[in-house]
């Protein structure tokens, strides 16, 4: 836990608490105008409140640049304290004082893993944690925990999440998949060179900073085939849409085992070139901000998700 600077600790009063709340909003957005919108104030009023706070405390909190503001070192320390303190207060107010494991929990996940793996397990979550109000949000962006009220995120990536805590959830394996009809039409069974006659289906947002054909390029390199990728392709921003297109005979997709297992079992997809291989360094991770102590419902959710992952018959 951060220690308050002695002069700040000695000079806090009621007015400064109000101004600290204004500072917290501005620091979270790194914008006086966005903080003004949130607090129903003018940007000038926000600027004056923060300037008054800085003058009374004799601590510069922001560096004012031409088109933006950034926190000073002291501002970063004080912002971290406020985030922790307000988070603790919100948790107390969000549930009865005698609650054991209850309250809101917002989980953010990429759409493909949410639809194919997470959502089918939520009935069990409700039975296990009846007092937790789960709010599941989906999207492809790497979210900003400072400006979004998200407790936990489920990402597919290489484990590098600067400034955040990442818990490995489960590895992933990949292989090309297509419909049985498409495989037969193009003579794909065991003939990787026949990919040149196919339409490739690409997930352009497979992981952070991925090129549109990164997954295919990684798989080709793993095979040591040295084949150029076919130029004919269709690009999506979700892996599950690639899989849906493959089921409907649109081409060949890179299938992640956790996402395509059911379609393979049902015969809607086949593996024309054999089984799955590890997805390089990429896997699924549970990610959250660094906190002195996680709310119990968040740590319980992490433990439950890892339990589910351990029971998943893949990789």
Is residue 6 predicted with pLDDT exceeding 50? no
Between 2 and 280, residue with greater pLDDT: 280
Q: What is the pTM of this model?
A: 0.64
Question: Taking a C-beta distance cutoff of 8 angstroms, is the pair 45, 89 a contact?
Answer: no
Query: pLDDT tens for residues 112-124?
Result: 899 989 999 999 9
**What is the mean pLDDT of the segment spanning 301-315?**
81
User: Which of 314, 307, 310, 285 lies closest to 125, judged by CA?
Assistant: 307
Q: SS in 3 state form for the chain?
A: CCCCCHHHHHHCCHHHHHHHHHHHHHHHHCCHHHHHHHHCCCHHHHHHHHHHHHHHHCCCCEEECCCCEEECHHHHHHHHHHHHHHHHHHHHHHCCCCCCCCEEEEEEECHHHHHHHHHHHHHHHHHHCCCEEEEEEECCCCCCCCCCCCCEEEEEECCCCCCEEEEEEEEEEEEEEECHHHHHHCCCCCCHHHHHHCCEEEECCCCCCCCCCHHHHHHHHHHCCCCCCCCCEEEECCHHHHHHHHHCCCCEEEEEHHHHHHHHHCCCCECCCCCCEEEEEEEEEEEEECCCCCCHHHHHHHHHHHHHHHHCCCC
The rounded distance, in Å, linking the Cα atoms of 207 and 143 is: 13
| Partner residues linked to 174 by β-bridges | 256, 277
**What is the mean pLDDT of the segment spanning 283-294?**
90
Q: How confident is the model at residue 251 (pLDDT cuts 50, 70, 90)?
A: very high
**What is the mean pLDDT of the segment spanning 100-105?**
82
Domains of the chain: 6-94 (1.10.10.10), 103-171+283-311 (3.40.190.10), 172-279 (3.40.190.10)
Query: pLDDT tens for residues 253-281?
Result: 999 998 898 999 999 999 999 888 887 78
Is residue 315 predicted with pLDDT exceeding 50? no
Mean pLDDT of the chain, nearest integer: 85
- The set of residues, in sequence order, having a beta carbon less than 8 Å from that of 8 and lying 6+ positions away, is 57, 59, 78
User: Which of 92, 96, 261, 245 lies closest to 182, judged by CA?
Assistant: 245
pLDDT at site 4: 47
Q: What percent of the chain has pLDDT over 90?
A: 45
């Amino acid at each position: 836990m951060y220690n308050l600077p002695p002069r700040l600790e000695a000079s806090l009063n009621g007015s400064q608490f109000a101004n600290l709340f204004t500072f917290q909003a501005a620091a979270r957005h790194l914008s006086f105008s966005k903080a003004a919108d949130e607090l129903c104030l003018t940007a000038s009023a926000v600027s004056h409140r923060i300037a008054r706070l800085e003058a009374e405390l004799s601590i510069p909190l922001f560096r004012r640049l031409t088109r933006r503001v950034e926190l000073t070192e002291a501002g970063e320390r004080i912002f971290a304290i406020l985030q922790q303190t307000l988070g603790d207060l919100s948790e107390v107010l969000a549930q009865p004082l005698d609650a054991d494991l209850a309250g809101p929990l917002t989980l953010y996940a990429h759409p493909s893993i949410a639809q194919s793996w997470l959502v089918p397990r939520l009935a069990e979550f409700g039975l296990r944690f009846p007092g937790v109000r789960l709010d599941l949000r989906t999207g492809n962006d790497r979210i900003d925990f400072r400006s979004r009220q998200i407790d936990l995120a489920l990402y597919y990536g290489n484990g590098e999440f600067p400034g955040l805590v990442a818990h490995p959830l489960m590895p992933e394996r990949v292989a090309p998949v297509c419909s049985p009809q498409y495989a037969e039409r193009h003579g794909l069974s065991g003939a990787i060179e026949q990919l040149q006659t196919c339409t490739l289906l690409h997930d352009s947002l497979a992981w952070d900073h991925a090129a549109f054909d990164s997954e295919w390029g990684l798989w080709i390199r793993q095979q040591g085939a040295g084949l150029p990728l076919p130029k004919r392709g269709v690009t999506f921003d979700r892996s599950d849409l690639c899989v849906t297109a493959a089921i409907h005979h649109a081409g060949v997709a890179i299938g992640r085992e956790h996402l395509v297992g059911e379609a393979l079992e049902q015969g809607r997809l086949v593996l024309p070139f054999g089984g799955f291989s590890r997805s390089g360094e990429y896997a699924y991770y549970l990610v959250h901000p660094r906190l002195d102590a996680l709310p119990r419902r968040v740590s319980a959710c992490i433990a439950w998700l890892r339990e589910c992952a351990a029971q998943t018959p893949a990789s």
